[in-house]
Amino acid sequence: MIKTLHNDQSIMQQAIKQAKKTMNEDLGGPFGAAIIDADGTILSVSSNSVLGDHDPTAHAEVNAIRMAGQKKNSHDLSGCVLYTTAYPCPMCLGAIIWANIKTLVYGCRPEDADAIGFRDDFIYSFIEKGRSDHSVLSIKEKHRDECLKLFEEYQSKNKTLY
């Protein structure tokens, strides 16, 4: 890990540079992200690699979180700050919260991403309107009783939550 302290403009510039690189290699969309540890260490600089990795989850923020988790040998990124060149989609926002990151700095607004054809706002809208629009996603409950047994087994073993 590089131990140099960075100002947040230089961090965002690194995220932009990485995004340009992978965008121009046709690996993914124009999105970059970086994660800074509590001590100012840059843990990860990443970008969208959805096309190159054949992975719809490989957004810049998710990639940066996965990389930082490997660096810290932990799923817990408490105290870290995530920089992203654009406001995160619901998937990435969820990932950020699960990683226990409490501060998020973004560059472009949701409407900026919409203007170049990315539909992040559309997914927020689906969630905010109760997730009932079947033209987006049809959600069905089945086999709940069998699945509940898994939760019961988890509880009976008194597993540590993460």
Interface with its own copies (CB under 8 A), residue from 22, 32, 37, 46? 32
Size of the site for its own copies (CB under 8 A): 93
Residue 99 in contact with residue 76, Cβ under 8 Å? yes
Q: Is 55 in the site for its own copies (CB under 8 A)?
A: yes
Site string for its own copies, 70-109 (x = CB under 8 A): x-xxxxxx-------xxx-xxxxxxxxxxxxxxxxxxxxx
Q: Chain-centre distance of CA 21, in angstroms? A: 19
Burial category of 160 from C-beta neighbours within 10 Å (exposed 0-12, middle 13-18, buried 19 and up): exposed
Closest distance of CB 2 from its own copies, Å: 20
Closest distance of CB 39 from its own copies, Å: 19
Residue 81 in contact with residue 56, Cβ under 8 Å? no
Residue 77 in contact with residue 71, Cβ under 8 Å? no
Site string for its own copies, 2-31 (x = CB under 8 A): ------xx--xx--x--xx--xx-x-xxxx
Q: Is 39 in the site for its own copies (CB under 8 A)?
A: no
Cα–Cα distance for residue pair 21/105, rounded to 1 Å: 21
Residues serving a catalytic function are: 61
Cα–Cα distance for residue pair 106/96, rounded to 1 Å: 13
Nearer to its own copies by Cβ, of 45 and 59: the residue is 59
Q: Is 136 in the site for its own copies (CB under 8 A)?
A: yes
Q: Chain-centre distance of CA 146, in angstroms? A: 31
Q: Is 158 in the site for its own copies (CB under 8 A)?
A: no
Q: Is 110 in the site for its own copies (CB under 8 A)?
A: no
Beta-ladder partners of 108: 86
